[in-house]
A and B are shown apart, each in its own frame.
Chain A
Amino acid sequence: METNKPLLKVDNIGIRFGGLRAVSDVNIELFPGEMAGLIGPNGAGKTTFFNMLTGVYVPTEGQILLNGKKLNNLPPYKITRNGISRTFQNIRLFGELSVIDNVKVAYHSQAKHTLFSSILRLPGHFSGEKEMEEKATEFLKIFNLDRFKDEKAKNLPYGQQRRLEIARALAANPKLLLLDEPAAGMNPHETKELMNLIAFIREQFNLTVLLIEHDMPLVMGVCERIYVLDHGQLIAEGTPSEIKNNPKVIEAYLGEEVS
C-alpha cells in the first residue's frame, strides 16, 4: 500500500516547557490517503503533539516535513496555508458568526479581492464575495448544514457544531486533516454518524487524516494504523489488532501487571 514518499514526516520531534519534557523523540510518517489514529492516556502529550504540527507550539527539537517542506518555525496561519488543517478538542467555532461565515473565514486565504478593493467597493470585491458565497453554500450542502446557513454558529446543537468544525477545517483545503477528539461528548449514535462522515470526507476530498480519540471502537473502526503515545513518547505503532494485543499499550492504559 505504502507509496514511496510520505506526506508528513515527523522527525524526532520534541518539546520542553522549562524542565518538563512534554513530548520527546516522536517519529511519525503519514502517507497520502492514509487514515491514522493517535491514542494514549490522558496527559500523554497528544494535543501538545497536534499543537506542534499546527505551529501553536514551536518544537524545541526535531523537524516537521510536509511534502519535504520544513514547517517548524512557521506561524500557524502559514502552516494551514501549506496544507495542514485541524479541529479542536473543545469546539472552537466563531460563535457570533453565522454558519456560512464560519466557512467563509476558512476560504479567506484563497480570497482574490484585496482589503483596498473591499473598502472602496471596487468590482473585484463583489465578484470575490459572490464567488465565496456560492462556494460556501455548495460546501455546506455536502455536509447537510445548508439549512442552518444563516444561524449563528453558537446556536447549533452540539453534534452539528462538531460537523461544522470539521467542515470549516476542510474548507481551508488541507492535504492533511488533524481531528482532535471529534467524538468527545457524543452519544453512540452520533459517533456512528461521525464515523460515516470521516470515511466520506476521506473519499470525497482525497485526504490524509490523523485523529486523536479516546473512543476505542471509533479508532479501531476507521484507522488503518495507530500510534500510541505515553508520557510524551511513542510506545507503539501498528494496525488496530496489533495495538490491541501490545503489552506495552495495555500497560500504559491499565497499569503494570503485578508479578
Chain B
Amino acid sequence: MAIFKQAKHFWTYIVLSLVIFGVIQFMITGQMLNLFYVNTLIFIAINIILAVSLHLIIGITGQFSIGHAGFLAVGAYASGIITMKLELPFAAALLIGGLVAALAGFIIGFPSLRLRGDYLAIATLGFGEIVRIVFLNLDYVGGASGMQVNHLTTWPWVFGCILIAILVIVNFTNSTHGRACISIREDETAADAMGINTTYYKVAAFVIGAFFAGIAGGLYAHNFYIIQPSNFGFLKSFDILIFVVLGGLGSLSGSVIAAVLLTVVSTFLQDYPETRMIIYSIVLIVVMLYRPQGLMGTKEITSIFSKGKRSKGGAKDGNKQTVA
C-alpha cells in the first residue's frame, strides 16, 4: 500500500515537473522570455544542481566540504576539453565531466574521510585552490586568459540534469543507504557501533556529490563561451555552501529554494555593483538571525503537503522553484 501511494506521489511530481518544463520551453521557443531571463534561468538551474550535490555531502552525511567549486572546475574543464579539443558530443562531455570530478572526489575523499574531524574541510579547501592554480598554469586549456567553449547548454539539457540529480539524491537519501549516511551525521561513533561502514558511506556520498558538481561544471562551461580559472575561486565554493546552510542543513528542498532565491537576488543586484555585496550580506545576516536553522530547517516541502506524514524528500518541488 505504502509503496503504491509513494509511486502515485512520484508520478504526480514527475508530471508536474514536466508541465513546468513544457511551459518554460514553450516560453523560450515562443521568444516570450528574453535572453537575459533565459540565461538567468539556466544559471539558477546550475546553482540548484550544485546546491543539491553539496546538500548530499554536508546536509545528509554531515561532512564539511568547502571546495565544491574545485569539482565544478574539474567538470567544466574536462567537458570543455571533450567538446572543444576532442570534438565529441555534448552528452559525452557532461558525463565525462561528471566522472572526472567523481574521480577527483574519490582521490580527495578517500584519504581524508577515513579520519574524523576537520581534515576534509582542510583537504577540500586546499583541493579547490590547487585545481584553480593548475588550470591557471596549464597552457593546454588557455591558462589565465581562459578556454573558448561553444555555447551548447540549453534549457532541456539543464532541466534533464536537475531531474536526474534530484532523483538520484532523493532515491539515495530515502533508502537504507541514505539512513546510514544520516546516522553518520547524527553520531559517527554510534553509527560505527551499529555496523555501518562509515568510511564507505562518507566516500560514496562525497563521490556522488562530486559527480553532480562535475555535471554542473559541464553545463556551466558551455553556457558562457569562455571559462577562466578565476570563475572557480574560493568565493564560488562559499556561494554553494551558503545555499546549503541557508536552506537548512538536511533539507533538499531548502537548498533548492535558497539556490533560487540567492541567485535571483544576486542577479538583480548586478545593476547596483557598488552595494551588491553589502545587500547580499545583509540578506544572509537577517536570515541567520531570524532562522538560524535555515529556511526549511530539516523539513522538506513535501512534508508540508502530506501533513503528519514523515518527509519523503523534496523531490520534484525543486523544479517548481525554477519558475520563480
Contact = CB atoms under 8 A, between A and B. Distances in A.
Interface of A: 54-56, 75-77, 80-81, 85-86, 88, 92-98, 101, 104-109, 111, 113, 115, 118-121, 125-126, 128-130, 132, 150, 168-169, 172
Contact of A96 (B171, B177, B194, B298): B298
A225 B312 CA distance: 48
Contacts of A111: 176
Contact of B193 (A86, A126, A129): A86
- The CB with the most chain A CB atoms within 10 A, among B187, B189, B192, is that of B192
18 contacts: A80-B192, A86-B193, A93-B190, A94-B182, A94-B187, A94-B190, A96-B186, A104-B179, A105-B180, A105-B196, A106-B194, A109-B194, A113-B176, A115-B177, A119-B172, A132-B176, A150-B310, A168-B194
A96 B60 CA distance: 11
A96 B250 contact: yes
Contacts of B180: 105, 108
Contact of A77 (B176, B178, B182, B195): B195
A111 B191 CA distance: 15
B208 to A, nearest CB: 8
Contacts of B17: none
B183 interface: yes
Contacts of B186: 93-97
Contacts of B168: 119
Contacts of A115: 172, 175, 177, 204
Interface string B62-96: 00000000000000000000000000000000000
Given A56-B189, A93-B187, A105-B180, A77 B172 contact: no
Interface string B235-251: 00000000000000010
Interface in B155-200: 168, 171-172, 175-180, 182-183, 185-187, 189-198
| 10 closest residue pairs by CB, A with B | A118-B175, A109-B195, A94-B186, A80-B195, A92-B190, A76-B192, A105-B183, A106-B194, A111-B176, A94-B183
Contacts, number: 106
Contacts of A88: 189-190, 193
Interface residues of B, number: 29
A201 to B, nearest CB: 17
A92 B175 contact: no
A113 to B, nearest CB: 7
B3 interface: yes
A56 B191 CA distance: 12
B172 A106 contact: no
Nearest to B310: A150
Interface of B: 3, 168, 171-172, 175-180, 182-183, 185-187, 189-198, 204, 250, 298, 310
A95 to B, nearest CB: 6
Of the listed residues B191, B195, B204, the one surrounded by the most CB atoms of chain A closer than 10 A to its CB is B195
A117 B39 CA distance: 36
Contacts of A85: 193-194
Contacts of A92: 187, 189-190, 193
A119 B189 CA distance: 26
Contact of A119 (B171, B195, B196, B198): B171
Given A55-B192, A105-B180, A172-B195, 4 more contacts: A77-B195, A86-B193, A97-B179, A120-B171
Contacts of B194: 77, 80, 85, 105-106, 108-109, 168-169, 172
A123 B310 CA distance: 22
A105 to B, nearest CB: 5
Given A56-B189, A132-B176, A77 B171 contact: no
Contacts of B187: 92-95
Contact of A121 (B171, B176, B197): B171
B193 A80 contact: yes
Q: Which of B3, B190, B193: most chain A CB closer than 10 A? A: B193
A101 B191 CA distance: 12
Contacts of A120: 171
A128 B195 contact: no
Given A94-B186, A96-B186, A98-B310, A105 B171 contact: no
A82 to B, nearest CB: 9
B310 A81 contact: no
Contacts of A109: 194-196
B177 A118 contact: yes
Nearest to B192: A76
Nearest to A178: B193
Contact of A81 (B172, B185, B195): B195
B195 A108 contact: yes
A238 B214 CA distance: 63
Nearest to B172: A119
Nearest to B198: A77
Contacts of B185: 96
A224 B268 CA distance: 74
B172 A105 contact: no
Q: Among B176, B189, B192, B298, find the residue whose CB has the most chain A CB atoms closer than 10 A.
A: B176
